[in-house]
Structure 1
Amino acid sequence: MRKSQHGIITPTQATIIIISKTLSVGILTLPRTAANDVGTPDVWIALLISSLVPLAMGFVIITLNQRYPNQTFYEYSDLIVGRFFTLFISLFMILYFIIGTIFAVRIMAVVVETYLLEGTPVTILIVLVLWLSLYLIVGGITSIARVFQIIFPLTILTFIVIALMGIGLFDLDHLRPVLGEGIRPVFNIKSMTFSSLGIEIILIIQAFMTDQHKAKKVIFLGVLIPTVLYLLTLVMVIGALSIDGVTNLTWPTILLIQSFEFPQLFFERLDSLFLIIWIMQIFATVSISFYAASLGFSQLFNKDIKRFIYGLLPILFILSMIPQNLHQLFWLADMNANVGIVLFGVVPCLLLLISFIRRKVQ
């Protein structure tokens, strides 16, 4: 694959893409899912443990990528396991990115309709985001990375502002006692591992990096920064609302922000400001997932990527309208996350092992 066909990105841009892929719906739902899984104030410890999973996955993936420089997974897997298995694995991977796209865009539409634009048809919101994503990804990976560079600092700034404003509601007792029920609960890390998925995009974007020797640094920062932001969110929400207080809340982070009272500020609805930035982050997640799925079809069948970008657009819209409620939507996300753990945790290990064996035999 020639990089010039799709563009090039710097290691910094690659890091931002990974972070943007990771930070999405989990910001709103992680406190609830983590509280339900762990059931103790030690959710922050469980989050730190769970961050080791994507970190390990990432280092395995870049080790595999570095054996086939300048090629994406869709291209080099053919050299390892042949055409048939490549099609099988790659189609599952494409399906994973498609489901990730429709989940993010549908959740975005539901939240916006509920909190920002009440009464606006969900279909309109979905079409708008998908069309904007299409407009972005047609420009290639370089255009995607540049837009993400604009969104990223806004996201960091928003997190810092919200954390500072939440100090007044924070109660340290809600995070005590530490390990009061022993160490076993903190290993219930399933939901937090799912929220950390995003590192898998390195299978695609490392081929476009200008300096692939910095891939380890990209992985480390791509896991560290989302972990810190998720940890900040988790501690602030649990610290303000308590474990019992968040277990039955669909969007606990939004409720916390709505609790802020600063009448002296000109901008009083801080939840609206937060959601505007969050929508940008969801847009980033949708765009890179949409691009990864389109690129997969393009490289598998050796056709121009634009025909798959335009072809996937109506399919994504139709699929995003299938879930009838949030319960079905979250079930779909959980199922996709389970598939993702196998695809990006187990499959790269097997391919790396096969690659080593094939090289030794030759």
Structure 2
Amino acid sequence: MLGSGILTLPRTLAEIMKTPDGWIAIILGGLMVMLAGICIVKLCHQFPGETIYQFAGKIVGNWIGKCLGILMILYFICISAFEIRVMAEVTMLYLLEGTPLWAIIMFFMWIGLYLTSGGINPIARLFEIILPITIVVFLFSMTLSYKIFDINNIRPVLGDGILPVIKGLKSTILVFAGYEIMFIVTAVMQHPKKGVKAMIIGTSIPLFLYLVTLIMVIGAMSVDGVVRSTWPTLDLMRSFEITGLLFERFEFFLLVIWIMQIFSTFSICHYAASLGLSQIFNIKIKPLMYFLLSIIFLIAMLPKNINEVFDFGELIGNISIYLFGIVPLLLLLITKVFKKGAVK
């Protein structure tokens, strides 16, 4: 869930809501995503050891199940392309100025291929390494910005009523995209019955980090200041320096850990798309990984500028609400009503 959204969420909410109440929308959006994720896990429990690509046909019929699986594969391909394009844009702007986009994208894609070709286990091990590093560095960086934090920038609470919060709900739900990977992960969990607990914890961590991000960024830069920034979270890190320490600027630490997070999102989505094609069409997975790499690259290079990249991301997010919010609920209802699945 911790992908490119952390870099843009404060600006997105500030533009839509025009109030500092985005933290309320984040809490509500996180709870809604948590419920959708639990619904996905409960559905997977009905078909132990199978992914959505394998059991969808058992619920709604073979052809509809395959069409549904292909839609999810297309979604994972697009989210992979979007994440790696955002990563390349940020890297080019702050770290590798003048480097062609295609060079940055290809470099990270080949590293991602090396990881995903090993299967789900090395991916999971990498995630276990990245997460604690991310949390420690992120909270440390955010804590240092307290000197320019002004609590008056996040007041008043609900000054314009509840309507702006409702407007901001969709954008907050979009940044939690990633919970849908439980359609794949539940099948290979050692203790799948703990899937609900994993879903709750796995959603709570990004919820907390997004909350901290929004409060610190809005508190330091104000709503008007955030609206004028493309990458407000990084601009917050650049707006102060701590003299006397070994390092005086901290945006590079945040950049490094978020490049790792975006890389991890790309990797697992690339794997999920490859696995889907493999299971639906009974083809070996490794050739498909190479094939999809070229497709992802082409899609990542399609947007002509950063505004088109953001529009592309919003489109993907809107699709995810229906594909992984409404569809799983309908499938779960069908399994319960018609008594389908191994678990009655």
TM-score (norm 2): 0.97
Q: Which residue of 2 aligns with 1:217?
A: 197
Q: Which residue of 2 aligns with 1:12?
A: none
Q: Aligned Cα RMSD in Å? A: 1.2
Residue correspondence of structure 1 range 138-157 to structure 2 within 5 A = 138-157=117-136
CA distance in 2: counterparts of 1:60 and 1:143, whole angstroms: 27
Equivalent residue in structure 1 for 2:264, among 257, 263, 284? 284
Q: Which residue of 1 aligns with 2:143?
A: 164
Q: Can you list the C-alpha shifts for 1:275-298, whole angstroms capped at 9, x where unaligned?
A: 111111111010001001001001
CA distance in 2: counterparts of 1:88 and 1:185, whole angstroms: 37
Residue correspondence of structure 1 range 342-361 to structure 2 within 5 A = 342-359=322-339
Structure 2 residue 214 is the aligned partner of structure 1 residue 234: yes
- Return the letter of the residue paired with 1:27: I
SS at match of 1:359: coil
CA distance in 1: counterparts of 2:60 and 2:156, whole angstroms: 51
Q: Which residue of 1 aligns with 2:32?
A: 53
Residue 184 of structure 1, CA deviation: 2.1
Runs (5+) with no aligned partner, structure 1: 1-21
Q: Which residue of 2 aligns with 1:8?
A: none
2:56–2:66 CA contact under 8 A, matched in 1: no
Structure 2 residue 111 is the aligned partner of structure 1 residue 132: yes
- Return the letter of the residue paired with 1:267: F
Equivalent residue in structure 1 for 2:13, among 15, 29, 34? 34
Q: Which residue of 1 aligns with 2:287?
A: 307
Q: Tell me the matched-pair count.
A: 340
CA distance in 2: counterparts of 1:359 and 1:150, whole angstroms: 41
CA distance in 2: counterparts of 1:124 and 1:151, whole angstroms: 24
- Return the letter of the residue paired with 1:316: I
Residue 68 of structure 1, CA deviation: 0.4
CA distance in 1: counterparts of 2:260 and 2:52, whole angstroms: 28
Q: Which residue of 1 aligns with 2:96?
A: 117
CA distance in 1: counterparts of 2:339 and 2:197, whole angstroms: 27
TM-score (norm 1): 0.92
Q: Which residue of 2 aligns with 1:6?
A: none
CA distance in 2: counterparts of 1:165 and 1:328, whole angstroms: 33
Structure 2 residue 172 is the aligned partner of structure 1 residue 192: yes
2:241–2:249 CA contact under 8 A, matched in 1: no
CA distance in 1: counterparts of 2:290 and 2:20, whole angstroms: 47
CA distance in 2: counterparts of 1:179 and 1:312, whole angstroms: 46
Q: Which residue of 2 aligns with 1:293?
A: 273
- Return the letter of the residue paired with 1:234: L
Residue 316 of structure 1, CA deviation: 1.2
CA distance in 1: counterparts of 2:51 and 2:206, whole angstroms: 24
Residue 147 of structure 1, CA deviation: 0.8
Residue 261 of structure 1, CA deviation: 1.3
Residue 358 of structure 1, CA deviation: 2.4
Q: Which residue of 2 aligns with 1:258?
A: 238
- Return the letter of the residue paired with 2:178: G
Structure 2 residue 321 is the aligned partner of structure 1 residue 336: no
1:49–1:187 CA contact under 8 A, matched in 2: no
Residue 269 of structure 1, CA deviation: 2.8
CA distance in 2: counterparts of 1:180 and 1:311, whole angstroms: 52
- Return the letter of the residue paired with 1:160: L
CA distance in 1: counterparts of 2:163 and 2:103, whole angstroms: 46
Q: Can you list the C-alpha shifts for 1:254-277, whole angstroms capped at 9, x where unaligned?
A: 110001211212222311121111
Residue 107 of structure 1, CA deviation: 0.8
Equivalent residue in structure 2 for 1:71, among 35, 40, 50? 50
Residue 236 of structure 1, CA deviation: 0.4
Q: Can you list the C-alpha shifts for 1:309-335, whole angstroms capped at 9, x where unaligned?
A: 111111111221111011111111111
What percentage of residue pairs aligned between the two structures are identical?
46
Structure 1 segments (4+ residues) deviating >4 Å = none
Q: Which residue of 2 aligns with 1:9?
A: none
